[in-house]
C-alpha cells in the first residue's frame, strides 16, 4: 500500500498514466501512433495547454476563472473584425495583422483585469464573478457579430495562426516564462503564499490584491494567445469559438494535480494533465466513440482526479 501511496502522491503520476495509457491503446486503435495523428494531437494540445496554464495560475491563487472560454471568443471576433478582408477596420492595411494581435491581447488583459478587480476590491466569490463574466462576454461576442462568423482573414494571419511550428515555439516560450515566473520570481512566490493563506500574506506585506489581479490578467492574456491559435486553425473569427472547451480546460488543470484549495500547482503538472486529456480524447475519437461518450469519460476522469486532490490535501502529511 505504501508504494501505491508514494506513486499516487508523486509529481509524475499523471505522466506515467499518460505513457501507460498510450502504450495500452496504441495496438488497438488504428493510426494512433502515426506521425500525422500525433501532429494533429499536438496542434490541438498547444492552445489548450496555454489556456490551462492561465487557469493554473488562478487556481494557485485560490480562485477559479470560468470566463476564459468567452475571452477566447471575444478576442477571436475582435481580431477578425480588425483584419477582415472586405469590411475590416484595417482591411488590407499592411499593419492589420499586428494591430489585430495587439487588440486581441489587450481585450484578454482587460477582461482579466475586470475579473481580478471584482474578486479582490469588490470581495466577490471568484466562481460567480467569472461565471457571470462567461455569460456576459460570450453574449457580447454573439451580439457584436449577430452570431455571424467573420471570415476572409489575411493570408499572413492564417499562416501564423494555423502553423503548428510557430505555435509550438510560442507555447514552449510561454511555458518556460510561466514556470520561471512561478518558481523563481517575486510575483510567483507571492502567488503561492496568497494561495496558501491570504491573511498571513497580507500581514507579511504581500500586495495580495495586486498579485491576484495579476493572476487573472495573466489568465486573460494567455486565453487571448490561445484565441489567436484557434482562430488561425479555423481561419475565421467565431463568436461561439471554444464554447465546449470549459470541461477540457478545468479538467486538464485538475487532473494535472493543481489543487482547488489553492497554493499547490505547477506548470509541468498541467502539461501532463493536458497531455493525458488530449491523448484520451484523440484515442477515443479514433475508436469511433461518439462525442458524448467521450464527454462522459472526461466527466468521470475529472471526478476521480478531484477525489484524488481532496484525498491528497486532506491526507495526513
Partner 1 sequence: MNTRQNKLAMLVLNNASLLLFAGVLTVFAAQSPQFLTGTNFANIIVQSSSTAIVAIGMTFVLLTAGVDLSVGAIMFVAAAVAGKMVTGNAPIWPALLVILVIGVVLGGVNAFFITRLKVAAFVVTLATLYLGRGFALWLTETRAINLPPGFLVLGTDRWLGLPLPIWILALVLGVAHLVLTRTPFGRQVYAVGQDVEAARKAGIATGRIFAAVYVISGFCAAVGGILSLAQLGAVSPTFGTNKEFSAIAAAVLGGTSLFGGRGKVFPGTVMGAVLIQTIENGLVILNVNPYFYPLLTSAIIFVAVLIDSLRASLLAKWNRRWIRVEEDLISNRS
Partner 2 sequence: MKNIQIESTSQHCERDGLLSRKARRPLQCLYWKMFCWCFAPIWMLAAGLLLLLPMGCKKAQNSGSGGSGEPQLTIGVSFETLQTGFWVASLDAFKAECAKRNIKMIQAIADGDANRQIEQVKNFITRKVDGIVLVPKDAKACIPIIKAANAANIPIVLFNRPPDKSDAKSVAVVADNFALTRETVKYMIGEARKTGKKHKAMVLIGDLGDINAIGRRDGFDAAVKEAPDVVEVVARVPTEWNQEKAQAGVVNAFQANPDISFIFTSSDFLLPSIVSALKATGKYKKVGEPGHVFLGGFDGDATAYQMLKDGYLDATGVQDVYFEVEACLQAILDARAGRPVPETITDAGFVIHQGNLKEKAPRMWGANVKQ
Partner 3 sequence: MITFEGITKSFGGVPVLRDVSFAVPPGRTVGIVGENGAGKSTLMNILGGNLQPDRGSMRWEGEVYAPRNPRDAARRGVAFVHQELNLFPNLSIAENLFLTTFPKLGRLPLIDRATLHRRTAEWLEQVGLTHPPDILVDRLSAGERQLVEIAKALSLDAKLIILDEPTTSLSAREAERLFALMGRLRERGIAMIYISHTLPDVLRLCDEIVVLRDGEVVGSGPRADFNIERMIALMVGRSLNQLYPERRAAPVEKAGEVILEVRGVTQPGIVRNVSMNLRCGEVLGIFGLMGAGRSELARILFGLDPCEKGDIRVAGQSVFGAPPRRRIQRGLAFLTENRREEGLCLEATIAENITLVSLRQYQSNRVGLLNMGRLREAVNAIRGAVRLTPTAGNEAPVKILSGGNQQKVVLAKWLLAKSGVLILDEPTRGIDVGAKFEIYQLIHELADNGAGVLMISSELEELTGICDRLLVMRRGEIVAELRREAFDGERILAAALGETVETGAP
What is d(CA 12, CA 269) in angstroms, rounded to the nearest whole number?
A: 8
CB nearer to partner 3: give 61 or 138: 61
Of 111-119, 256-264, 266-274, 289-297, the window that binds partner 2 (rule: CB under 8 A) is: 289-297
Q: How many CA atoms are closer than 13 Å to the CA of 131, on its beta-carbon side?
A: 6
Could you list the residues that contact partner 1 (CB under 8 A)?
Answer: 64, 118, 122-125, 127-129, 131-133, 135-136, 138-140, 142-143, 146-147, 247, 250, 254, 260-261, 290-296, 298-300, 302-303, 306-307, 309-310, 314
Of 110, 297, 306, 308, which one interacts with partner 2 (CB under 8 A)?
297
What is d(CA 176, CA 251) in angstroms, rounded to the nearest whole number?
A: 22
What is d(CA 161, CA 175) in angstroms, rounded to the nearest whole number?
A: 18
What is d(CA 31, CA 24) in angstroms, rounded to the nearest whole number?
A: 14
Q: Tell me the closest approach of the beta carbon of residue 78 to partner 2, in angstroms.
A: 16
| Secondary structure of residue 237 in the 3-state scheme | strand
Could you list the residues that contact partner 3 (CB under 8 A)?
Answer: 180, 184-186, 189-190, 192-193, 196-197, 199-207, 263-264, 317
Query: Binding partner of residue 139 among partner 2, partner 3, partner 1, none, CB under 5 to 8 Å per kind?
Result: partner 1
CB nearer to partner 3: give 192 or 230: 192
- Among residues 169, 174, 158, 165, the alpha carbon closest in space to that of 50 is found at 174
Q: Tell me the closest approach of the beta carbon of residue 81 to partner 2, in angstroms.
A: 14
Query: Binding partner of residue 143 among partner 2, partner 1, partner 3, none, CB under 5 to 8 Å per kind?
Result: partner 1
- Among residues 68, 38, 40, the alpha carbon closest in space to that of 53 is found at 68
**150: β partners:** 237
User: Alpha carbon of 305 to those of 112, 202, 300: distances in Å?
Assistant: 27, 31, 9
How far out from the chain centre does Cα 191 lie? 18
Residues 249-288 that bind partner 2 (CB under 8 A): 282, 284-288
222 CB contacts (<8 Å, ≥6 apart)? 50, 51, 53, 54, 108, 174
Q: Tell me the closest approach of the beta carbon of residue 246 to partner 1, in angstroms.
A: 8
Q: Tell me the closest approach of the beta carbon of residue 54 to partner 1, in angstroms.
A: 18
CB nearer to partner 2: give 38 or 202: 38
State the residues that interact with partner 2 by CB under 8 A.
Answer: 24-25, 28-31, 34, 36-37, 40, 44, 146-152, 162, 230, 233-236, 238, 240-244, 282, 284-292, 296-297, 300-301, 303-304
Amino acid at each position: 500500500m505504501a508504494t501505491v501511496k508514494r506513486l499516487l502522491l508523486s509529481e509524475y503520476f499523471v505522466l506515467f498514466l499518460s505513457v501507460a495509457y498510450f502504450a495500452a491503446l496504441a495496438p488497438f486503435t488504428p493510426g494512433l501512433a502515426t506521425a500525422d495523428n500525433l501532429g494533429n494531437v499536438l496542434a490541438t494540445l498547444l492552445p489548450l495547454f496555454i489556456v490551462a496554464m492561465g487557469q493554473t495560475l488562478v487556481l494557485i491563487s485560490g480562485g477559479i476563472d470560468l470566463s476564459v472560454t468567452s475571452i477566447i471568443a471575444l478576442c477571436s471576433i475582435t481580431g477578425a473584425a480588425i483584419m477582415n478582408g472586405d469590411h475590416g477596420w484595417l482591411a488590407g492595411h499592411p499593419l492589420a495583422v499586428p494591430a489585430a494581435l495587439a487588440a486581441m491581447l489587450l481585450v484578454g488583459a482587460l477582461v482579466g483585469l475586470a475579473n481580478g478587480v471584482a474578486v479582490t476590491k469588490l470581495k466577490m466569490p471568484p466562481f460567480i464573478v467569472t461565471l457571470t463574466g462567461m455569460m456576459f462576454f460570450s453574449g457580447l461576442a454573439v451580439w457584436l457579430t449577430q452570431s455571424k462568423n467573420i471570415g476572409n482573414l489575411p493570408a499572413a494571419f492564417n499562416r501564423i495562426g494555423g502553423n503548428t511550428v510557430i505555435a509550438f515555439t510560442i507555447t514552449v516560450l510561454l511555458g518556460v516564462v510561466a514556470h520561471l515566473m512561478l518558481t523563481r520570481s517575486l510575483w510567483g512566490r507571492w502567488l503561492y503564499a496568497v494561495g496558501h493563506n491570504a491573511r498571513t500574506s497580507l500581514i507579511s506585506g504581500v500586495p495580495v490584491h495586486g498579485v491576484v489581479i495579476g493572476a487573472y490578467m495573466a489568465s486573460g492574456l494567455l486565453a487571448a494567445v490561445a484565441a489567436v491559435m484557434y482562430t488561425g486553425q479555423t481561419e475565421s473569427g467565431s463568436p461561439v469559438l471554444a464554447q465546449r472547451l470549459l470541461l477540457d480546460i478545468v479538467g486538464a488543470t485538475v487532473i494535472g494535480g493543481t489543487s482547488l484549495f489553492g497554493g499547490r500547482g505547477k506548470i509541468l503538472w498541467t502539461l501532463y494533465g493536458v497531455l493525458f486529456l488530449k491523448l484520451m480524447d484523440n484515442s477515443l475519437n479514433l475508436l469511433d466513440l461518439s462525442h458524448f461518450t467521450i464527454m462522459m469519460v472526461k466527466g468521470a476522469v475529472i471526478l476521480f482526479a478531484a477525489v484524488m486532490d481532496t484525498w491528497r490535501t486532506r491526507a495526513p502529511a
